[in-house]
Structure 1
Amino acid sequence: MEKRIFGKIWICFVALICIGGYAQNKQVKVGDRQFENLAFADAIKSYENAIRQGSVNQEDFKKLADAYYNNGLYDEANKWYSEILDKGQATSDFVDAEVYFRYIQTLKSKGNYREADRIMDLMADKFKEDIRVKMYLANKSYLEFIRSNPSAFSATLMENVNTAFSDYGATMYKGHIIFASSQNRTNYYQRIHSWTNDPFTKLYSAPVYIDGHVGEAKPFAKKMEGKFNESTPVFSSDGQTMYFSSNTRENKKNKDDVVFVNLYKARLVNGKWNNVEKLSINVPNASSAHPALSVDEKWLYFVSDRGDSYGQSDIYRVEILSNGNFATPENLGDQLNTEGREVFPFISADNILYFASDGHPGLGGLDIFGVKIYEDGSLGDVVNLGDSVNSSYDDFAFYLDPNCKYGYMTSNRPGGKGKDDLYFVREINGIELEFYQSIKGKVYDIVSGEILKEAKVSLYDQNKELVETVVTNENGEYVFNDKRCSISYSVGVDKEFYNTVELGLPALNRKNEAVLDFGLQGGEVNPKEKVQGIQIGDDLFKVLNLKPIYFDFGKADIRVDAESELYRVLEVLNLYPNMKIDVRSHTDVVGKDSYNLKLSQRRADSTVNWLISKGISRSRLTSKGFGSTRLTNECSKGVPCSADKHQENRRSEFIVEDL
């Protein structure tokens, strides 16, 4: 099935502790070759045969577990991940974050949430920068919330369209349900997908009658078919254009003998779908799939595992220009995307982006989530749709009819007819997806502690537009009520005879109101005395004796406590209009080197963008992320260190390049 395409496979060639006298036999060699070619169904047979012969090692267990996992066979995968993590191999080089996380998912599929959370805590100790870890630590009561609204939706197995194979990804078109199926419903020869050993999926159509009954399924747009998979169509509102996913139709493979998934567009001409064209937003050596249209049809959302993705597959969007061409695709960011799989986006008539993910806290496998898309394109809070639609297995491809409160989803949960089954979904109570919060605080004299009444307090949105202005009351207090969550506001305070201060807030969340107090300093503040004799090559961090610039786990957003320090850098830049600086960001060694490098670059860029937003010319600023390549102490990989010692390596530098 196409959703398995996005499992990135990392083959580790390392020295291993062997089980018995290990000598790689023929079955293991064959299995390795099949695994590398993504022929997971065949690789499973080869590795199982090798195990019966007693000639395997722990890394072979990992490949076998991954092969089962990539086919959604979580019970079988659980056995072999357990062999690795429960048999003392957790310190082996090939045991990365994915081994932990996939084991956690398989435990959830068995309903063992307590053990899954215990392993997640172990993963959190080893992989602190993993986005999935941070989301878990921020919401350890996720199960309570997921189970809090059992009547949000209802989900019922569709008896007459499902088969013993994979049937998934349903949408509506002209009174018909259109979906993908690997069942050969014709008498023609159908190619076999080596990933699953099932036939490639083709599109089918079945009429939906007024009483809800679904008729017989027949091939849809058969003349448009390629040689491999077709799936996940989305139609324009006028019914004349269809976007869909398909393996590369040019019959070309990459150097590793892999056929990638790409996005295509077809047009309806004289009642027939033809004029199939490959979209320009596809990229070499990566898959792009699962198209979804925004309500105004000005944006195309899709899934890809291209180079700038955070994980195994991310959700992107791209503007559709007036001439039909596409702008540059943009990643939706780590508020939504994780190191795991984010797949099958769908946008409802009320601008809710539904998608499936195994990276956000959930019940196991892929869960379905919703997030509000606002007019400016920003996203609200990501919310799990709950256990009325989600299970401990894979639940995905959520669709709601724009005119009714019903739709479809897909799941491989037990009790279905095949490997993946279509379910009829009806919205009952629904899920709250728009959240508002208060911002409040006090203003006081930082020296005397005296409260400051009648100070002007202004609230700005993330585009620096003024939202609201209030004045502090008799107790020096201010409050902004009912402000949208997931926006990173900033608050400015102005009081006569005091310095003006503006600080930013992390994105508001639905759990806690934001509290931001201001201590103002009277008189003129002149940092120039602090930087007398400064020279090219000096670090303003040290010259100004700044406090560490902290970031939230896995985030690049400027925190409130960091802003107060950055304002001091800003003051120096304003005092020396010819000064140029290079902002350098560093991480510790926890996590993957490649991830740390990207994270540090995002943090350096975020710091530069903050300074630019305060009026500093971009020409005066450069940024560089070094990851964990320039440690200040002995805490390299494999060296036991305390949290404080690791913290020494998580730092920012502001190097003077020119005066």
Structure 2
Amino acid sequence: MKLFRFIILVFFIFNSVNILAQRSKTVDKSTYSENEILADNALQEEKYEKAVLLYKKLLNEKPDNSKINFLVGFCYLNTDYGKELAIDYFEKAVSNMKKRSQDNAPLEAYYYLADAYYHNYNFTEAVDVLNKLTEKIPKNEDLFNFRVKRLKEKCENGQNISLRKLEIKVEDLLEINSKYSDHSPLINSDETELIFTSRREGSKLSVKSYDDQFDANIYTSEKNDSVWQTPYSFGKTVNSSSHEASTFISADYKTMIIHKYDRNKGSLYISKRKESGEWGNAVALGSNINTKYRETAGCLTPDGRKLYFTSDRKGGHGGLDIYVSDKLNNGTWGPAKNLGATINTNFNEETPFIHKNGTLFFCSEGHNSIGGYDILGSSKNKKNKWSNPVNMGVPINSVDDDFFYIPSPNGRFAYYASKRQGGKGNSDIYRIGLSNPVKNNYVVVSGNIIISKENVTQKEVKIYISDLNGKKNHSYNPILKKNSFTLFLETGKSYILHFEFQDLTIHKIKINAGNNGSFLALEQHIILDDIIIKSLKDSKYRQKLVQGNIETKEYTSKPKSKDISYDKIIAGNTDTNATLDTDVDNTNEEEGKIFSIQLLSSKTQLDENYFEDLEEVKYFQDEDGSYFYYFGEYIYEWEATIKLRMIIDKFPKAHIFVNTINNKTRAKKNQ
């Protein structure tokens, strides 16, 4: 029965996005043509590209048919390339509706017309259509009304966020991405190795799932001459013939958190890297982390003492929520605590990542999202409370799912996954070029131990970190690929790095980490060739080292521009008497120039409680005696802009903006 078949088909379409569209209508007993049957079957199997070709053949016969135009538009809307094409068909479907016609599109055609406008960033047109649709929907259709309201919210969010579009370059990693889903990027310190998750075909994955993709496995790729090489499987100790996904890797590349699909529909595991460089078998995290519900992603703080993760366990705010667990003295994880309503919503929150500066990046379907998932950031205030999450804006976020945001260690870039239009597959991995680096409270030291003697391995070289008095507080074995090492040192302190071979110091670096929290990487190449190795076996030379005859040569490395790059200082000779004293002085390019948020100006001085919601508000007076009140001092404009977004709701009627101040106008606290 023709119309009955269409009703069932429409029920399938709208039920697939949680919109119920079955209504009582009279049944037409006419039969379907072969093309109609084939098209409907393809649609029900979600083979949209096949279905759209068949429906367009039917449309050639009936170009003004409202129902067929609707079905063509729906198929286009569900392809990667056809979201703009869908608009014309939905517009025709809506305009050609007639009273009591069996060829009419369903009322939901208005919803999908608005959805097509929305996916093409035509937010105003979408809101206009949704307003008309609201007047037509029966009030007892709660689910339909809810979906219309939710889409309207996202469109209105899009209108607001688009007004402050960021000048950021978004780059598709074409060498990495495939026609399948690629996501969850993890990057090393110098951005030469990328770990990610993909649903492409692999050696252990030969059977496709229901959605025409393979189960997920973890892959890695290395960059040679600025080009990403062909990705390869991460290894049998991590991957299996089932589902694995990368969710976190530590800065020293020794600890990885993995999501595995198991009897609980998803749990979190941890894998440790061995001294051989191989990864150990993944071990499930404790019962305070994994439950009978889903646990999907996790990350550690830089000190490894806190685990942030997502779960849809009972007691949350709805869907997946973000939780935190503290590491106990016995090495196990303590009870999980929900981050609360400031972070979690009744929608899903996913893919948390804690940056070294304390910012929590995550994605959410709630808050002021313009897409399915949007990337947001939040940080704790002096009262240890999370700030209201800030939407990272366009073009980082899109009307599609954007998730798994990972800033690079140098703060200049970020990597994330997105299902936005124009990608190679279901989701692609992208790199963002930030106009200014993210503020970082750590200095990174990275480099290589270069050994030319075959019978000497990098395991024989140890790195110790000490204070200026020589008290050693940490040791590190550079067991990474290609003999590389990476160390993260907290700012505001001075350190001595001791490179030891055969229990003797062969190289020392003094690092004075500045207080301003900017980022600078110093790459050290320590060369051990035959001359050095033979010298260390000479008793006279060893005695000189024991007596401490290691000269100090000073080199100062400063960033020459606001766009910080790696500063490479190479000890390329074989003179083991030389040590390196490196001062990390991360100042702004323009001496004395800082950025701040100007709150307001006043002819008279304001009461000290005027800004009671903000701490450390300061002011200065100009030559005319006017008072200028400002908040925060930042090295880079990007930092001030992000902070402005966090506080702008506190001043709905004020015109606050980012401004520059200098040492002459830096003022006193408002007290």
TM-score of the aligned structures, taking structure 2 as reference length: 0.50
Q: Which amino acid aligns with 1:163?
A: S
| Residues 346-385 of structure 1 mapped to structure 2, 5 A cutoff | 346-359=353-366, 361=368, 364=371, 366-374=373-381, 377-385=384-392
Change (3 A) 1:305 1:136: farther
2:151 pairs with 1:144 = no
**Quick one: distance in 1 between partners of 2:42 and 2:252?**
44
Change (3 A) 1:307 1:28: farther
What is the CA distance between 1:71 and its match in structure 2? 9.3
SS at match of 1:164: coil
What is the CA distance between 1:202 and its match in structure 2? 0.8
What is the CA distance between 1:320 and its match in structure 2? 2.5
**Quick one: distance in 2 between partners of 1:390 and 1:216?**
28
Provide, for residues 86-142 of structure 1, a one-character-per-residue CA deviation record: whole Å limited to 9, x for no partner. 8989xxxx999xx99876554222343332232455688855996876686688533
Provide, for residues 341-395 of structure 1, a one-character-per-residue CA deviation record: whole Å limited to 9, x for no partner. 5433333222333334455556655443333344655333433334343445443
2:325 pairs with 1:319 = yes
Indicate conservation of the 8 Å contact 1:30/1:43, yes or no.
Answer: no
Indicate conservation of the 8 Å contact 1:289/1:303, yes or no.
Answer: yes
What is the CA distance between 1:244 and its match in structure 2? 1.9
2:231 pairs with 1:217 = yes
**Quick one: distance in 2 between partners of 1:134 and 1:235?**
36
Indicate conservation of the 8 Å contact 1:105/1:365, yes or no.
Answer: no
Q: Which amino acid aligns with 2:124?
A: R
Who is 1:570 aligned against? none
2:342 pairs with 1:328 = no
Indicate conservation of the 8 Å contact 1:31/1:42, yes or no.
Answer: no
Q: Which amino acid aligns with 2:333?
A: N
2:171 pairs with 1:161 = no
Indicate conservation of the 8 Å contact 2:405/2:416, yes or no.
Answer: yes
SS at match of 1:192: coil
Q: Which structure 2 residue ranges, 5 or more long, are not aligned?
A: 1-14, 60-65, 99-105, 136-144, 441-594, 619-626, 633-644, 655-671
Identity %: 19
**Quick one: distance in 2 between partners of 1:376 and 1:457?**
18
| Residues 107-506 of structure 1 mapped to structure 2, 5 A cutoff | 107-119=117-129, 121=131, 140-145=159-164, 147=165, 149-150=166-167, 153-173=168-188, 175-186=192-203, 188-195=204-211, 197-209=212-224, 212-248=226-262, 250=263, 260-269=265-274, 271-277=278-284, 280=287, 281-284=289-292, 286-306=293-313, 313-322=319-328, 323-333=331-341, 337=345, 339=347, 341-359=348-366, 361=368, 364=371, 366-374=373-381, 377-429=384-436
Aligned residues: 437
Indicate conservation of the 8 Å contact 1:368/1:390, yes or no.
Answer: yes
Indicate conservation of the 8 Å contact 1:344/1:397, yes or no.
Answer: yes
**Quick one: distance in 1 between partners of 2:30 and 2:650?**
55
Change (3 A) 1:111 1:45: same
**Which is worse superposed, 116-125 or 324-333?**
116-125
Which of 513, 537, 540 is equivalent to 2:651?
A: 513
What is the CA distance between 1:179 and its match in structure 2? 0.5
TM-score of the aligned structures, taking structure 1 as reference length: 0.50
**Quick one: distance in 1 between partners of 2:41 and 2:290?**
28
Q: Which structure 1 residue ranges, 5 or more long, are not aligned?
A: 1-6, 253-259, 442-453, 471-478, 485-506, 517-659
Indicate conservation of the 8 Å contact 1:171/1:177, yes or no.
Answer: yes
SS at match of 2:309: strand
Indicate conservation of the 8 Å contact 1:203/1:231, yes or no.
Answer: yes
What is the CA distance between 1:75 and its match in structure 2? 6.4
What is the CA distance between 1:400 and its match in structure 2? 1.2
Indicate conservation of the 8 Å contact 2:76/2:83, yes or no.
Answer: no
Indicate conservation of the 8 Å contact 1:161/1:217, yes or no.
Answer: yes
**Quick one: distance in 2 between partners of 1:468 and 1:427?**
28
Indicate conservation of the 8 Å contact 2:363/2:403, yes or no.
Answer: yes
Indicate conservation of the 8 Å contact 1:232/1:291, yes or no.
Answer: no
Cα RMSD for the two superposed structures: 5.8
Change (3 A) 1:514 1:109: closer
**Quick one: distance in 2 between partners of 1:76 and 1:338?**
33
Indicate conservation of the 8 Å contact 2:118/2:126, yes or no.
Answer: yes
SS at match of 2:272: strand
SS at match of 1:198: coil
Indicate conservation of the 8 Å contact 1:109/1:365, yes or no.
Answer: no
Change (3 A) 1:390 1:469: closer
Provide, for residues 464-486 of structure 1, a one-character-per-residue CA deviation record: whole Å limited to 9, x for no partner. xxx7999xxxxxxxx996679xx
SS at match of 1:387: coil
Change (3 A) 1:31 1:198: farther
Highest Rg: 1 or 2? Answer: 2
**Quick one: distance in 2 between partners of 1:101 and 1:362?**
19
**Quick one: distance in 1 between partners of 2:365 and 2:341?**
16
What is the CA distance between 1:510 and its match in structure 2? 0.2
What is the CA distance between 1:178 and its match in structure 2? 0.2
**Which is worse superposed, 291-300 or 173-182?**
291-300
Provide, for residues 62-93 of structure 1, a one-character-per-residue CA deviation record: whole Å limited to 9, x for no partner. 9x96997699985698799889988989xxxx
**Quick one: distance in 2 between partners of 1:161 and 1:154?**
18
What is the CA distance between 1:237 and its match in structure 2? 3.9
What is the CA distance between 1:416 and its match in structure 2? 3.4
Indicate conservation of the 8 Å contact 1:356/1:368, yes or no.
Answer: yes
Provide, for residues 556-597 of structure 1, a one-character-per-residue CA deviation record: whole Å limited to 9, x for no partner. xxxxxxxxxxxxxxxxxxxxxxxxxxxxxxxxxxxxxxxxxx
**Quick one: distance in 2 between partners of 1:367 and 1:273?**
34
What is the CA distance between 1:330 and its match in structure 2? 0.9
Q: Which amino acid aligns with 2:128?
A: R
Change (3 A) 1:304 1:68: farther
Change (3 A) 1:28 1:203: farther
SS at match of 2:281: strand
Q: Which amino acid aligns with 1:183?
A: R
What is the CA distance between 1:176 and its match in structure 2? 1.9
Change (3 A) 1:88 1:405: same
Q: Which amino acid aligns with 1:409?
A: Y
Change (3 A) 1:133 1:107: closer
| Residues 567-586 of structure 1 mapped to structure 2, 5 A cutoff | none
What is the CA distance between 1:9 and its match in structure 2? 6.6
What is the CA distance between 1:431 and its match in structure 2? 8.8
Indicate conservation of the 8 Å contact 1:459/1:469, yes or no.
Answer: yes
SS at match of 2:237: helix
Change (3 A) 1:410 1:515: closer
